[in-house]
Amino acid sequence: MYFSKLFVPTSRQDPSEAELISHKLMIRSGMIKKTAAGIYNWLPFGLKVLKKVETIVRTNLNNFGAQEILMPMVQPAELWKESERYDQYGKELLKFQDRSERDFVLGPTHEEIMCEIFRSYAISYKDLPINMYQIQTKFRDEIRPRFGVMRAREFLMKDAYSFDIDSSSMEKSYVNMKNAYISIFNDIGLDYRIVKADAGNIGGDVSEEFHILADSGEDLLAISDSSEFAANVEVLNYDKDPSELDGSKSPDGKGKLRIKRGIEVGHIFQLGQKYSEKMSANLKDSSGKDINVYMGCYGIGVSRIVAASIEQNHDDKGIIWPYSIAPFHVNVICLDPSKEEVLKECESVYQILKDAGHEVLLDDRDIRAGNKFTENEILGIPFSIVIGPRNYANNKYEFNSRKTNEKLELNIDEIKQILEEQK
């Protein structure tokens, strides 16, 4: 992609609306643009990152046996009345009417629709387990949306639902999804923790959260320094200031608790029969008896991961993308594109790397060098290659790492080698 053809409206000033660093940087790097409180546009650069996260999520879930579907965002209120969440869910549930005054809601989650799908077919216990997911825009009318896409009203979520014949197979489905999540978050490559969690108003007995660690995280996590114990402090029923937990004995008796801040990006639940009872999502077991299906549900805040990544990885110059979700892998910075021989050399390097399967940006804009360097840093592209009149005839190129700030003189094969190792 040629930079001159990309719409990336960067800004050198912090927006007045933003407080959080990820929010500021997402606006300054031209990734997002707000339309209303908690409602955002994803511009080309931001969308590239969002799609990267989406692809990692999709690929892993498919590998772990889940099947992608797409459910409607607009849902009839009747289903929500049936599950009794029409009144319970609270004002976060956006309600409205169509032209003939029928009640609808804008989907904040899809247990009701999922049950409706399940119960409308004659499904045998032999068909189970079934696990279906979607990656879709959700709407929750937050009391106070804030921090950009971190806590938006409209946001991109992956939600998955598993169906099993009994409790023990539901647990197997749950563990399978937990493993899928571990694989997803390992692939993304951010520092994360899995903690015991409060199931909140989704319901169910067992639930765990995936948190990306960051000092700005809204959740406090209590993590043992010498065992597997890790929990959201919400579940500890501790009546004092949670920061006092730091250094106290771990509930499992092993080691001391350390308090860390996290951003919740995934939450998995064993729902049991909570929804299937209310919604009559049944099937027959091997003895012919009607059973309410055992469900699990599994969420990932896809758009939130983008912001959380920036919270965890940035410096005073801008974003630092992990290779896995970077909008581009390498930026070929052409310092004087008006000189034909320089531009030719840049295009040649660009093409070679592209042909080798890397995602390359060519900054061919006829602007000052400093602007290109500074924007490259704000945008956080992992590697850059600087080619100018001074060094274009060389067979060595200036190769820079955004993360380490390292500057190397490398030939094209050495560069290919390094990029190959990142995959």
Binding residues for RNA, rule: CB under 7 A, are 10-20, 28, 34, 36-38, 90, 92, 140, 142-147, 151-152, 155, 157, 198, 200-202, 218, 264, 267, 299, 301, 303-304, 317, 335-336, 368-371, 373-375, 377-378, 386-391, 398, 400
CB of 109 to RNA, least distance (A): 8
Asked whether 82 and 279 are in contact (CB, 8 A), the reply is yes
CB of 11 to RNA, least distance (A): 6
Q: Which residue has the tokens 């309600």?
A: 95
Which CB sits closer to RNA, 71 or 123?
71
Which CB sits closer to RNA, 148 or 322?
148
Distance (Å, whole) CA 108 – CA 71: 12
CB of 146 to RNA, least distance (A): 4
Which CB sits closer to RNA, 96 or 249?
96
Which CB sits closer to RNA, 145 or 272?
145
Contacts of 370 (CB under 8 A, 6+ apart): none
The H or E element containing residue 117 is helix 111-119
CB of 128 to RNA, least distance (A): 25
CB of 291 to RNA, least distance (A): 27
CB of 287 to RNA, least distance (A): 36
Which CB sits closer to RNA, 250 or 376?
376
Q: Count the neighbouring beta carbons within 10 Å of the beta carbon of residue 352.
A: 15
Contacts of 304 (CB under 8 A, 6+ apart): 149, 150, 151, 155, 263, 264, 265
What is the token pair recorded at 113? 């629709």
- Pick from 360, 351, 286, 302: which is nearest to 328 by CA? 360
Which CB sits closer to RNA, 116 or 234?
234
Which CB sits closer to RNA, 27 or 128?
27
Which CB sits closer to RNA, 303 or 309?
303
What DSSP string describes 338-370?
Answer: TSHHHHHHHHHHHHHHHHTT--EEEE---S-HH
Cα dihedral angle (331, 335, 337, 339), rounded to 10 degrees?
-140
Which CB sits closer to RNA, 34 or 284?
34
Q: Count the neighbouring beta carbons within 10 Å of the beta carbon of residue 291.
A: 17
Buried b (16+ CB within 10 A) or exposed e, 6-42: bebebeeeeeeebebbbbbbbbbbbbbebeeebebeb
- Pick from 188, 189, 126, 128: which is nearest to 158 by CA? 188
CB of 290 to RNA, least distance (A): 30
What is the token pair recorded at 214? 């960051």
Number of separate helices (H) and strands (E) present in the chain = 11, 23
Q: Which residue has the tokens 């050495």?
A: 414
Which CB sits closer to RNA, 9 or 247?
9
CB of 219 to RNA, least distance (A): 8
**Percent of residues in the chain assigned helix, strand, coil, to nearest 5:** 35, 30, 35
| Beta strands in 8-151, from DSSP E residues, in sequence order | 32-36, 39-42, 67-68, 74-76, 94-97, 103-106, 130-139
CB of 16 to RNA, least distance (A): 4
Which CB sits closer to RNA, 39 or 291?
39
| Beta strands in 122-256, from DSSP E residues, in sequence order | 130-139, 154-164, 192-196, 206-213, 219-224, 230-232
CB of 33 to RNA, least distance (A): 10
Distance (Å, whole) CA 418 – CA 420: 5
CB of 345 to RNA, least distance (A): 11
